[in-house]
Amino acid sequence: MKIKWVTNPETIDKHFIASEVELGNNVIVQFDDSTYTYEMLFDLNGLASELNNNLQIRFYGHSNKIFDCKTLLKVKNVKSLSINCFKKVKNLNQLSELERLEKLIIGIEDFKEIEILNSDNLKSIVELNLGDTKNLNLEHLKGYKKLNWLGISGQFKNLESIGKIENLETLHLSSISKKEPLDFVNQLKKLKNLHISLGSRENIDEINGEQLETLKLLWIKNLQSLHNISRFENLKYLQVENQRNIETIEFDSEMKSLSRLGIINCKGLIKLKGLEHLKVLNTLVITRSLKLEFDNIINQKLSATLKHFNFVTERKPLDKEIKEKIRSLGYSTT
């Protein structure tokens, strides 16, 4: 699936948009200023009525002007909508008039309508992304029966209500305060993909996640340890990125499903142990983790299923030597 961006068009190319969506691509028609005309919005509304939610209509920026959400009434058939990168908007309650909405992105810095998620029409959406939005009340999310993808970034009320979203499969948590417990994740029995980024916390010990298939830990300030990874017994993909305080990552018992492992820019990491327990490992990527020695990795008993192995220090002579060694062992590398 590809993303096709159409920015501030002078006219709406209905044939191009329809053909790209029918090919399975995402088309984002976006406006960063009020250059749209009634005719353009009319055409977009017609397309939105005919096409699936791979057509996204996006309003953003607007040169620090206050965006009037009454504009949304001209695209009432929209299924995928983004209104973000705004400092302030007015008449946000008009969102409640969009009866066909399935995907929604909101990013508004100065946010007043903290109960907007209580709108009945929003409770049938399948994807929701809330960023740069403070104090929004998440309590209403427990009524979102169709929601399977959620991304949030910032400070919210009743964060623990996320644990009541019974069909949630993918969750992105960004810039969450260390004071906020994350044990609500354990209530999400259908959750397969968990991404935690930015914010601050010392560990993620409170998360069990035995049903998780993907876990990404990115740029989390003060993350000190990553213990008992084997508790994520169904994990297929683990990525640990930009975690400077973690010194050891150890797989202390067999992980029957982990096929992809990425360790990226973990400058404090000294030991990566227990790789012999990753019985189906197919792809191993280690980059810019300068205290980690290549010999300590390659001398472990790596899985016979390993096909692709990257080890990059960004020291060109050393990287050339490492690549030659990796290829001589029969692995592909880039």
DSSP conformation class of 173: E
209 with 188: CB under 8 angstroms? no
C-alpha 166/C-alpha 129 separation (Å) is 17
Between the alpha carbon of residue 61 and those of residues 31, 42, 313, the distances in Å are: 8, 22, 39
Instruction: Provide CB contacts within 8 A for 329, sequence distance 6+.
Output: 298, 309
Q: Give the alpha-carbon dihedral of 316, 317, 323, 329, to 10 degrees.
A: -160
pLDDT for 245 beyond 90: yes
pLDDT for 215 beyond 90: yes
Instruction: Provide CB contacts within 8 A for 10, sequence distance 6+.
Output: none
Residue 142 phi/psi, 5-degree rounding, is -65, -15
Residues paired with 81 in a beta bridge: 57, 104
Tens-place pLDDT, residues 74-105: 999 999 999 999 989 999 999 999 999 999 99
For the domain made up of 111-223, give the CATH fold. Answer: 3.80.10
Tens-place pLDDT, residues 157-214: 999 999 999 999 999 999 999 999 999 999 999 999 999 999 999 999 999 988 999 9
Q: Compute the average pLDDT of residues 28-44.
A: 96
What's the helix, strand, coil split of the chain in %, to 5? 25, 30, 45
Q: What angle, 0 to 180 degrees and rounded to 10, lies between the N-to-C axes of helices 38-50 and 14-22?
A: 20
pLDDT for 64 beyond 80: no
Q: Which tokens hold the place of 39?
A: 């005719």
Over pLDDT 90: what percentage of the chain? 91
DSSP conformation class of 46: H
C-alpha 162/C-alpha 140 separation (Å) is 9
pTM: 0.95
In angstroms and rounded to an integer, the radius of gyration of the C-alpha atoms of the chain is 23
Per-residue confidence (pLDDT) for residue 227, from 0 to 100? 84
Q: Compute the average pLDDT of residues 50-65.
A: 93
C-alpha 291/C-alpha 69 separation (Å) is 52
Tens-place pLDDT, residues 298-312: 999 999 999 999 999
325 with 308: CB under 8 angstroms? no
Ordered by start, the domain boundaries in the chain are 1-79, 111-223, 225-334
